[in-house]
């Protein structure tokens, strides 16, 4: 994720993703399978050009597989962050379970299988003041904290 | 919510003022924690993601 800022979200439940979070691609970068959500299942059930690989995943056998295949976790849009709140090029993804565990250990969070993580990355709109009025900036807050530490 | 503080850019302290993007994310339904990741953990994540293999040993590109 080559973006200026990366936020990790640890969540119990969340809104459904706007598009598939995993696709199977051929070596020629053609989509030969994709994730199916319960609410998009009806779009595939009537099709005769798909094969169900799992309950939530279909293959498109009519598309030739040239150059092998690989799963891709494509960048998923994250509409809550956008230009109106100072964010550009916003993408999200779900980290692998081992990365999820690494983040929690690094952050000192307990292991909790009921929670999952999402990573959101974005660039910042140049000149946009992202501080929240009345709360001071993060930088100001950090300076105040170090000042208090020096006094104590 | 538990309160943890990691020195640097990574803070889970809900009392520490967030900037606008972080406060928006923290306000979303179902979110328990939200915090910026620093370069150290991002580098570790990128390295780890490079080792992940999917079902039937199919490579994974995340």
Question: Read out DSSP for A67-96?
Answer: S-EEEE---B--TTSSGGGTEEEEEEEPPP
Closest residue by Cα to residue A126 from A89, A86, A91: A86
What is the ipTM for the molecules in this complex? 0.74
B31 domain-assigned = yes
Share of chain B above pLDDT 70, in %: 63
Taking CB atoms and an 8 Å cutoff, what residues of chain A touch B29? 13-15
Asked if A124 and A88 touch (Cβ cutoff 8 Å), the reply is yes
Query: What stretches in chain A show pLDDT beneath 50?
Result: 136-149, 151-152
- Indicate the domain borders of chain A: 1-19+75-129, 22-72
B34 domain-assigned = yes
Give, as one character, the DSSP assignment of residue A10: E
- The pLDDT of residue A54 is 85
- The pLDDT of residue B6 is 39
Q: What is the pLDDT of residues B4-16, one digit of tens each?
A: 333 345 555 555 5
What are the respective helix, strand and coil percentages of chain A, to the nearest 5? 20, 30, 50
B61 domain-assigned = no
B59 domain-assigned = no
Interchain CB distance below 8 Å, A71 and B61: yes
Choice between B43 and A148, residue whose per-residue pLDDT is larger: B43
CA–CA distance, A99 with A116 (Å, rounded to integer): 11
Q: What is the enclosing helix (H) or strand (E) of B8?
A: none
- The pLDDT of residue A112 is 83
Closest residue by Cα to residue A19 from A93, A87, A70: A93
pLDDT mean across residues, chain B: 74
Q: Does A139 touch chain B (CB under 8 A)?
A: no
If you average pLDDT over residues B17-22, what whole number do you get? 82
B15 domain-assigned = yes
CA–CA distance, B29 with A9 (Å, rounded to integer): 11
Domain containing B28 equals 1-54
Give the count of domains, chain B.
1
- The pLDDT of residue A32 is 95
Interchain CB distance below 8 Å, A7 and B44: no
Question: If you measure CA to CA, which chain A residue comes closest to B57?
Answer: A70
């Amino acid at each position: 994720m080559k973006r200026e800022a990366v936020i990790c979200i640890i969540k119990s439940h969340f809104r459904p993703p706007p598009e598939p979070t995993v696709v199977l691609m051929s070596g020629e970068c053609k989509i030969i399978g994709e994730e199916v959500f319960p609410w998009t299942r009806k779009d595939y059930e009537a099709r005769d050009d798909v094969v169900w690989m799992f309950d939530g995943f279909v293959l498109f056998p009519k598309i030739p597989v040239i150059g092998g295949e690989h799963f891709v976790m494509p960048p998923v849009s994250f509409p809550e962050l956008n230009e109106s709140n100072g964010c550009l090029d916003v993408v999200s993804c779900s980290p692998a379970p081992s990365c999820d565990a690494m983040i929690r250990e690094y952050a000192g969070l307990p292991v909790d299988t009921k929670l999952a993580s999402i990573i959101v990355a974005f660039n910042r709109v140049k000149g946009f003041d992202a501080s929240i009025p009345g709360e001071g900036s993060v930088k100001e807050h950090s300076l105040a904290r170090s000042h208090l530490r020096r006094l104590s | 919510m538990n309160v943890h503080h990691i020195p640097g850019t990574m803070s889970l302290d809900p009392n520490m003022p967030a900037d606008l993007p972080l406060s928006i994310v923290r306000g979303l339904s179902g979110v328990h924690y939200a915090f910026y990741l620093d370069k150290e953990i991002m580098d570790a994540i990128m390295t780890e993601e490079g080792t992940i293999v999917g079902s039937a040993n199919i490579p994974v590109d995340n």
